[in-house]
Amino acid sequence: MTLSSFISVPPESHFPIQNLPYGVFSPKSGGSKRIGVAIGDHVLDLAALGEAGFFAGTVAQADKVFEQGALNAFMALGSDSWRQVRQIVQDALREDNPDLRDNAALRERVLLPMQSVTLHLPAEIADYTDFYVSKEHATNLGTLFRGKENALLPNWVHVPIAYHGRASSIVVSGTDIHRPYGQVRGEDGKTPIFTASRQMDFELEVGYFVGPGNELGHSIPIGEAMNHVFGAVLVNDWSARDIQNWEYQPLGPFLGKNLGTSISPWVVPMEALDVFRCPQPVQDPQPLPYLRTQGNWAYDISLEVSLRTDTMPTFTTVTRTNLRYAYWNICQQIAHHTITGCNLRPGDLLATGTISGPTPDSYGSLIELSWRGANPVALAGNEQRSFLEDGDCVRMTGWAQGDGFRVGFGDVTGCLLPSLRTGL
């Protein structure tokens, strides 16, 4: 029997009762930030639901986690509390449960139209790690930056490569990004020039929020990794490719990536994604024992990117891919991240890096889609892009398709604005 809500949710909606993603919102009419759940085109106010007694006897209610302006405290409670809360919310929204369905006054208080609220960053993000899990993407960028003969470096198939990003510049969907200035390679290839980036790009990624962390000095075994994952979001890791190309050797990305990272506001629980797990690409050679997983830990999640220029009325889809192409899974990312004893904390964000598929129309960045400008991407209105221009807007979306329903992330959007620097 298909689980259904008394709230009408069309099959193409990203937020059916099977999903119930968490977010932070505030009413546009005024009021503090609090925790909510998306259901159709409504937000269920969990703080108000708690006041009505639905979470009585739970640790979540005792700790007043839903009255806070970030999900960190709820994330820290762990999987038992997550499951308990999810079950209570799902039961309250069922079409055959009259407790909320038939209480008009309560419904008006706890169910808010999505357009009546402002969505915020879902967590206070102290640390952000960006991985490099797509073999296709790593091969493509290696070819473009170093040549085909050195495309995939020898360590890539043995270790989940990552760098530590800048948490302070992570922004919620809808926040615009300004074109950065920096050093780029000059015409002689050896002497840099200081200029506005001429190769601005998007990166299509999925991010995972950490729940309970680990103590410093104690690693997380791969078989326990998922106990530490709260949920997933979409990520656009804006990239200045020319700045990145000049700076990335020998220590990797820095200013080419720290200009801004956009995430979707709704955090999809991992429990909602469990039914969409699938086999991941074959790992050859076999990873070292601490990185070996049992079962299927890839996810069949469709991902899309659309662009709109300042002369276009609508978005044009430029790529379609799938998270299942990721070579390294989230369990391996966590096990590797903590193998040194590095301590993760509630609200830390781990991103996949760009997800690219095996065909040119499934690449997850403009530098790949246009092959560094050699094959500009065609858009509506006879426009084309090799890299992003000022005024361009990027929209990413993703969902897993169930039987008559979708478990989706909504959108993560942002526009590229001119640099704020003047007089240079």
| Catalytic residue positions, numbered | 137
Instruction: DSSP letter for 289, please.
Output: G
Element (H, E) at 136: helix 135-146
Which residue bears the tokens 């509390």? Answer: 81
CB environment 378-408: b (16+ within 10 A), e (fewer): ebeeebebbbbeeebbbbbbbbbebeebbbb
Residue type, 110: V
Q: How many Å separate Cα 284 from the centre of its chain?
A: 27
With a CB cutoff of 8 Å and minimum separation 6, the contacts of 263 are 121, 122, 170, 171, 172, 173, 207, 233, 234, 235, 236, 349, 412
Helix residue spans in 19-114 (DSSP H): 46-51, 59-62, 72-77, 79-93, 98-101, 104-110
Q: What are the DSSP E strand ranges found in 157-310?
A: 162-164, 170-172, 177-178, 181-185, 192-196, 200-201, 204-210, 229-237, 239-240, 261-263, 268-269, 277-278, 298-299, 302-308
Burial class (CB in 10 A: 0-12, 13-18, 19+), 257: buried
Contact present, 125 and 170 (Cβ < 8 Å):
yes
